[in-house]
Chains A and B, each alone.
Chain A
């Protein structure tokens, strides 16, 4: 059931999945599977674009004081049915030697913010003082998102050059790098003085998680296109042309993400539970549908597109390249398999899912799920409203030790199965670096800092708490309460509270010891990024990745036109048609 109004987001909703059961936690929450997820209809970029298109948001270019080299100030006004916002962007010269993907950089090609209400001159000057400084500046609660971006060296200049010469940029180049700008941080929820999330949580526009951040990135995409067209026109007013709309739609925004994102998944398990639960609910609902010929044909088309999209996804990372090749081959096998099926009166999608689980890689399994979800918007799209969660963790102090020990044994068996006497299981440690306080991963015994570990070692903490609880129970009896135990052993309060809270959820805990030497942080990053809706995963190491957002999304000028929300996994426009 949908809520009657969006004035209030339920704390931990669990909509009905239908006749098909949700997949088991132990299968879904394996780190490798989470690291194989793809975006879907309920990813945040899809949701925010649907909302903007459905509600006909108005975006006006209010100021474009950009010089012939692209430097200056731009302001876009956004009018939604609920509020007025302004997107303020400062573009500045950046010495190429300072251009860096690292979060510890302190200069960017452009810095920008999404602000509530109109930005007058006085406010603009305050923003000009602070936004380009990012972490070193201070904003106030009228700013809801703060971000910065670097130009793609490979694309920016050549696109300006092409447009100024009256040519369209080559789509093959955009297929290689699908953006003009790449963000390195998109800050929300109170960072550096901006508005806390609870301020906007009940807002119709940006109440859902990360929707304000994603919309801000979308506006950067629009600016990036206007900016290259502007520079080209200034450079060669006689010959310059505007970019073909097909190319504009094929441009996204890049993002470079590293370990900073990883702790989020551990410290927000109720939110992660909600995201995974909604995705699994969508999968279960759709797998429970009876197939028909039209939808089978549509799925075949989507799989072909997914395969083509993957063929057009490049990466220097050998592992990702191999995975992409496998994905393409297996999608072709899926096409063959499906073409031999008669859809009528069958749960064909369930059969496909079962077949995929038995025969194909995790990436293929999860992409097929994302594509099946595309077939039933009316069964899926409402789930976007349930992607929020309140991260409250309460102790159950009167729970008996017997009961708590049972909960650990049944819900954290995966943690108890880890042998922490094996040094390989504690080879890694997470710490917070003094350099801009970003999280990092060290090797125990080789690097300093394991005396100041971040508490991301959920499995090890559970093991230690379990051993202490069993010992205490043996001494004082199983009816002893948790609070009595904690008054003697207060150091276990955090993990016990987490165990008690998460035992009431299905998909909150990632079932992997994050200290193990074979743990790949990339899986954590990709999991979160897939819920954003990222495509074109391009790992630069096991610890950071470049991705693309909004590639294929409609343009601002498409608002008001018929919109069929069919831009997942876009493929390159035909170069013959675009370039000629």
Chain B
């Protein structure tokens, strides 16, 4: 079905609220999904795949495995990046603001590409950021590098197919964030075309074009995900009683 961005955002927020995400996190998680969807990178589809895990598994709180003034390692304990990505990015931001550069690594997390939307939010606060991770997409490994300059709206994303099948990064399901207010990390093409095949380049102007298309036409979302999200958001609703109806609440709306 065709939906507006505002509808999708509102529904995702309520669905995450229904899933027990705390205040603040359900807004961030929704915004991360919608950002990816708005920019043509399958945010809703990523969410669809995450929902099984999000709805069925008991979540464990992330922990900080190591930390000093400019380095941080977070163990996400197998959770979706939706649950830990925004605070990890904020940690990178805070350390970089204090020390000029920071590296934060999140181990053992899923749905890492959803991180991109939150990086854009950090960038608008004057931070240059880069994120790097590898997905095992059997039988290949896909390496993803995203970077965004301070105060810019859109990042650049590079995707490579990597031949290295035995990769620690992939097995760790980790994502590495680098942040600095002083300098931006410019991507360059992988130096060895034998090892890495460039699959896709998405430039800032591509992101912007896609975003404008969505404002013009709306978003296309599969019915089954939509209704699944509706069902989850229904957990936040309260059945009306005759008493509440008689009390005279609810006439009119914005």
| Chain A residues within 8 Å of B, Cβ to Cβ | 101-104, 138, 140-141, 184-187, 189-199, 255-261, 264, 392, 394-395, 397-398, 431-442, 447-449, 452, 455, 461, 481-484, 486-487, 490-497, 528, 540-541, 543-544
CB distance from B77 to the nearest CB of A (A): 13
Task: Give CA–CA (A442, B237) in the complex, Å.
Answer: 13
- Tell me if B4 and A493 are in contact (CB < 8 A): no
- In the complex, 30 of the A-B residue pairs with CB atoms within 8 angstroms, ordered by the A residue number, are A102-B251, A140-B2, A141-B218, A187-B254, A190-B5, A191-B4, A193-B2, A258-B250, A258-B251, A259-B251, A433-B249, A434-B234, A439-B250, A447-B244, A448-B241, A449-B238, A452-B236, A452-B238, A455-B23, A481-B98, A482-B94, A484-B91, A490-B22, A492-B24, A493-B28, A495-B23, A541-B248, A543-B247, A543-B251, A544-B248
Residue B90 lies at the interface, judged by CB distance under 8 Å to chain A:
yes
| Number of interchain pairs (Cβ within 8 Å) | 197
Size bracket of the B interface: 35 or more
**Chain B residues, Cβ within 8 Å of A398:** 93-94, 97-98
Cβ-defined contact, A543 with B249, below 8 A: yes
Write the chain A residue with the least CB distance to B7.
A190
B191 is an interface residue with CB less than 8 A from chain A: no
Q: How far is the CA of A543 from the CA of B64 in the complex (A)?
A: 48
A491 touches B22 (CB 8 A): yes
Q: What is the CA–CA distance of A455 and B27 in the complex, to the nearest angstrom?
A: 12
Q: Which of A184, A452, A482 has its CB near the most chain B CB atoms (within 10 A)?
A: A452
Name the contact of B24 in the complex, choosing from A189, A440, A495 (C-beta under 8 A).
A495
Given the complex, which residues of B lie within 8 Å of A195, measured CB to CB? 4, 215, 218
Q: In angstroms, how far is the closest chain B Cβ from the Cβ of A579?
A: 33
Which residues from A are CB-within-8-Å of B192? none
In the bound complex, how far is the Cα of B254 from the Cα of A191, in angstroms?
11
- B125: Cβ under 8 A from any A Cβ: yes
User: Measured between alpha carbons, how far is A433 from B238 in the docked complex, in Å?
Assistant: 5
Which of B3, B74, B121 sits near A193, CB closer than 8 Å? Answer: B3
Establish whether residues B251 and A193, one from each chain, have CB atoms under 8 Å apart when the complex forms.
no
When distances are taken between beta carbons in the complex, the residues of chain A under 8 Å from B124 are 392, 394
| In contact, B4 and A432 (Cβ under 8 angstroms) | no
| A264 contacts across to B, CB distance below 8 A | 254
Give the residues from 224 to 254 in chain B that come closer than 8 angstroms, CB to CB, to chain A. 234-241, 243-245, 247-254
Q: Which chain B residues border A487 with CB–CB below 8 Å? A: 62, 64, 74, 87, 91
Q: Output the least CB separation between B200 and chain A (Å).
A: 26
Q: Decide if B217 touches A258 in the complex (CB within 8 Å).
A: no
Query: Smallest CB-CB separation from A261: which chain B residue?
Result: B254
Residues of A within 8 A of B254 (CB): 185-187, 257, 260-261, 264, 528
Which B95-133 residues have a C-beta within 8 angstroms of A?
A: 97-98, 121, 124-125
Q: Assess whether A199 is in contact with B249, with CB atoms less than 8 Å apart.
A: no
The CA-CA distance from A434 to B3 in the complex, in Å, is 21
Query: How far, in whole Å, are A255 and B254 apart by their CA atoms in the complex?
Result: 10
- Find chain B residues with CB under 8 A from A486 CB: 87, 90
B232 CB to closest chain A CB, in angstroms?
13
Contacting residue for A440 out of B3, B4, B94, B249, CB 8 A: B249
Other A-B pairs beyond A394-B124, A440-B244, 13, CB < 8 Å: A186-B254, A190-B7, A191-B4, A258-B250, A259-B250, A264-B254, A437-B237, A440-B240, A441-B249, A484-B91, A493-B28, A494-B22, A544-B249
Residues of A within 8 A of B238 (CB): 431-434, 440, 442, 448-449, 452
